Structure 1
Amino acid sequence: IGYDADDPHAEGEVGKVGVSITSLKDMMTCFNGIPLGKVSTSMTINSTASTLLSLYIATGESQGVKSGQLRGTTQNDILKEYIARNTYIYPPRPSMRLIGDMIEYCSKKVPQWYPVSISGYHMREAGCNAIQEVAFTLANAIEYIQTCIDRGLKIDKFAPRLSFFFCCTSEFLEEIAKFRVARRIYAKILKERFHARDPKSLQLKFHVQTSGESLTAQQPDNNIVRVAIQSMAAVLGGCQSLHTNSKDEALALPTEAAVKIALRTQQVVGHESGITKTADPMAGSYYVEYLTDTIEDEVNKYLKKIDKMGGSLAGIERGFFQSEIRQNAYRLKQEIDRGERIIVGVNKFTDTTEQKQEIMKIDSSIQDKQMRNLRELRNTRDNKKAENALSKMKSASEKDENLIPYILESVRSYATLGEISNTFREVFGIYQPKETF
């Protein structure tokens, strides 16, 4: 959320949930020996996505790779942050401006990049149901698309580079139907509402991650089975890429052994099950078709309701999404507590003789090392050049200019992630959410 490793807000957090990237020097170190013109890189980053993309572009430049050759994805879905995940910095409207800037810049300068991956995953993990996951994700997609159109972009210029990210729980048949509904409704929205003509614009390209929320700290070996079920549902539902969670993720970051089991699960499904040999293999199943039609009807009801509010931004500002998710999460918790929803090893088939699990521990010296690197960077860079670049960026942010070129100039001058984020904080402010239930 835009803090350097030596910021007091980052104390104890550096390296805990990802690679610590503070400056261009860090990004170049991270990709040292990896030719960026030959790989595709996915970055789970949101509030600071514009800075991370700029760091990646500048790293490519250091390797002699032009921005047009770069391939990859930035998650960059800030709307779901306000709804569920909460790693936002600025208020919604300036944040949407940054996303619009990225989509516009990528459509012209980084055409092989997916600038936003519109995510239902985090909302599902926060407690919403399958219907809400699809409805809220597509509502957010509509908001992003409309933002780009309002900036003068043509739908077929940027829509083919939009991607999606969904969750998959153990509700096997419902999950398969959910993915079918998402594709069906999205194609209709793009064709009928936004008048897209390029067939690629109508394609809902989505990544799936198995449900972390469904994994239990009790009897963690059971999680291997859960992940296998979920990964099969994702494949049968038509995902383009898949992440299988590790069995120990309810306890800590996964161990190498647990990660290997998760990888082998995906490989067995992909190479031994035969379910990847045809598209939409569950089509025609009476129950799956019934679920698909039922979920579609309910999703459309939500979309109409959100449209009447004025779209996702208005819904977020009213607390609509947050309230819907919290109410559903509370209902699910009550069902588990009452034993109406069985969680094996938690409220039924429990085991009091469980053995202690080996868990991953992060080396606390990582933060000290990063802080030393930052001190060295600030002592060796051209500080005047960095200050000038940040000043230009601040001035542009107070006007109506695309900010990506200014962020690029700042990272090339070795301005840090925190310095860039703090500059925007001065102009845009910090988001303060309203209480909802």
Structure 2
Amino acid sequence: GTATESNARYKQLIANGTMGLSVAFDLPTQMGHDSDAPIAHGEVGKVGVAIDSVDDMRVLFGGIPLDKVSTSMTINAPAALLLLLYQLVAEEQGVPAEKLTGTIQNDVLKEYIARGTYIFPPKPSLRLIADIFKYCRAEIPKWNTISISGYHMAEAGASPAQEIAFTLADGIEYVRTAVAAGMDVDDFAPRLSFFFVARTTILEEVAKFRAARRIWARVMKEEFGAKNPKSLMLRFHTQTAGVQLTAQQPEVNLVRVAVQGLAAVLGGTQSLHTNSFDEAIALPTDKSARLALRTQQVLAYETDVTATVDPFAGSYVIEKMTDDLEAEIVALIDKTEQLGGAVRAIEHGFQKAEIERNAYRIAQETDAGERVVVGVNRFQLDEEEPYEPLRVDPAIEAQQAERLAELRAERDQQAVDTAL
């Protein structure tokens, strides 16, 4: 909701030994709007923290040693600005930029396909991304400059093959843009990372991740001539599938999240986000967020699934599924290339139409009962138990507007206008 609330929660996490922080920004911030803009009304602080100025960033990370934590920021169109505010706050703490570690999502192409929080047209957005690659190589060398995301496409209804194909096609577009801007592929490719979903279909998800690694390594080596082995790596974060969670019988989601998390780990993810069981209802309560964390900890410490990198290697079922998915993914990438690459395909509406067609098919199968969703179209209860979700205080918006009014009253407006 607010920078102050988030800061308090961060400090509690650090006290508990957490060294990696994840910050999501509210929709007005993602769209480049101030919190007191009319279009922002009703959305301030709802799906993340509101950041209107460097002062908000100071509050958000006040007293948190930015040379000791790695910060992941879910931000796309205004990623350059938010990263700069973070760097400025670090410098005020006496932390040089070369010591900062973290990630900005910075993947604007998937916004045109699945989310819609873009500000600029595709080509200027690509130029900004290439500029960020260059800037971070020179100024913030340990920063992960992009997290190329298939998660949001999957949440919009993409199949596993579509999720991987359209994400890797976006990645190819980013690499081409950076190379065209004069960068050597091995100068930036090791900092590229990806973000995928994990569904309840364990075997298919494992095969999906295995196929994705094969394809990316081949593309980087054969198309772009990458020589650094790190440039060939598909480094990826995984989030469990929010779209598969239900408002009906929400406790059943604990089982779904555990299965999805298991699929991600068996598939070789390097980083994992487990959703809360009340994801389909509201933002998580403290209890549901803690249970999501405990799910990860059980997988990490009470099972042996992390003891080997690719535990299903050699299984005839998994190897066959991997080969089949790889062929399907490559065919979709080839179609994207025939349209002129990811940006031209977006302009044709190709990826969006393909995803919507698959989403409609899933909806039809669910409505007909061919696809079982426990608690929704089978195994329902006659009466649902009441559940009290977390509710965001509407006073947050007024408080943020007050902070902005004070900032505007105190700053040198002529200096602001000159700088702009």
Q: Same fold (TM over 0.5)?
A: yes
Name the residue aligned to 1:208: 238
State yes or no: 1:322 paired with 2:348: no
Name the residue aligned to 2:24: none
TM-score normalised per structure 1: 0.88
The alignment partner of 1:263 has SS state of helix
Q: Could you list the runs of 5+ residues in structure 2 that have no partner in the other structure? A: 1-30
CA drift at 1:316: 0.2
Name the residue aligned to 2:25: none
Structure 1 counterpart of 2:184, which letter?
Answer: K
State yes or no: 1:132 paired with 2:138: no
Deviation per CA, 1:125-173: give whole Å up to 9, x if none: 1001000111000000000000000000000000000000000111110
State yes or no: 1:356 paired with 2:386: yes
Structure 2 counterpart of 1:254, which letter?
Answer: P
Name the residue aligned to 1:233: 263
Counterparts of 1:76 and 1:372 in 2: how far apart (Å)?
Answer: 30
Correspondence 1:108-147 to 2 at 5 A: 108-147=138-177
The alignment partner of 1:208 has SS state of strand
CA drift at 1:353: 2.2
Aligned residue among 184, 204, 207 for 2:214: 184
Give the CA RMSD over aligned residues: 0.7
Correspondence 1:76-95 to 2 at 5 A: 76-95=106-125
Correspondence 1:33-48 to 2 at 5 A: 33-48=63-78
The alignment partner of 1:87 has SS state of coil
Percent identity of the aligned residues? 55
Aligned residue among 215, 224, 227 for 1:194: 224
CA drift at 1:223: 0.3
Correspondence 1:298-377 to 2 at 5 A: 298-377=328-407
Name the residue aligned to 1:158: 188
State yes or no: 1:11 paired with 2:41: yes
Counterparts of 1:96 and 1:382 in 2: how far apart (Å)?
Answer: 33
Structure 2 counterpart of 1:348, which letter?
Answer: R
CA drift at 1:119: 0.2
Counterparts of 1:191 and 1:281 in 2: how far apart (Å)?
Answer: 26
State yes or no: 1:64 paired with 2:94: yes
Name the residue aligned to 1:281: 311
CA drift at 1:16: 0.1
Counterparts of 2:375 and 2:405 in 1: how far apart (Å)?
Answer: 49
CA drift at 1:379: 1.2
CA drift at 1:354: 1.7
Counterparts of 1:169 and 1:116 in 2: how far apart (Å)?
Answer: 23
Name the residue aligned to 2:129: 99
The alignment partner of 1:43 has SS state of strand
Counterparts of 1:221 and 1:12 in 2: how far apart (Å)?
Answer: 29
The alignment partner of 1:182 has SS state of helix
Aligned residue among 171, 174, 183 for 2:201: 171
Counterparts of 1:212 and 1:86 in 2: how far apart (Å)?
Answer: 18
The alignment partner of 2:298 has SS state of helix
The alignment partner of 2:338 has SS state of helix
Deviation per CA, 1:306-354: give whole Å up to 9, x if none: 1111100000000000100000000000000000000000000000222
Name the residue aligned to 2:4: none
Q: Which has the higher contact order (CA 8 A, sep 6+)?
A: 1
Number of residue pairs aligned between Structure 1 and Structure 2: 390
Deviation per CA, 1:106-138: give whole Å up to 9, x if none: 111111001110000000110010001110000
Structure 1 counterpart of 2:359, which letter?
Answer: A
Counterparts of 1:352 and 1:110 in 2: how far apart (Å)?
Answer: 57
Structure 2 counterpart of 1:65, which letter?
Answer: V
CA drift at 1:95: 1.1
Name the residue aligned to 1:384: 414
CA drift at 1:387: 1.4
Structure 2 counterpart of 1:249, which letter?
Answer: E
Deviation per CA, 1:384-432: give whole Å up to 9, x if none: 2221211xxxxxxxxxxxxxxxxxxxxxxxxxxxxxxxxxxxxxxxxxx
CA drift at 1:266: 0.7
Counterparts of 1:298 and 1:281 in 2: how far apart (Å)?
Answer: 23
Counterparts of 1:125 and 1:184 in 2: how far apart (Å)?
Answer: 24
Counterparts of 2:359 and 2:233 in 1: how far apart (Å)?
Answer: 31
TM-score normalised per structure 2: 0.92
Which ranges of 4 or more aligned residues in structure 1 deviate by more than 6 Å? none
CA drift at 1:380: 1.2
Aligned residue among 222, 244, 266 for 2:274: 244
Deviation per CA, 1:74-109: give whole Å up to 9, x if none: 001000000001111111111111111111111111
Aligned residue among 127, 148, 154 for 2:178: 148
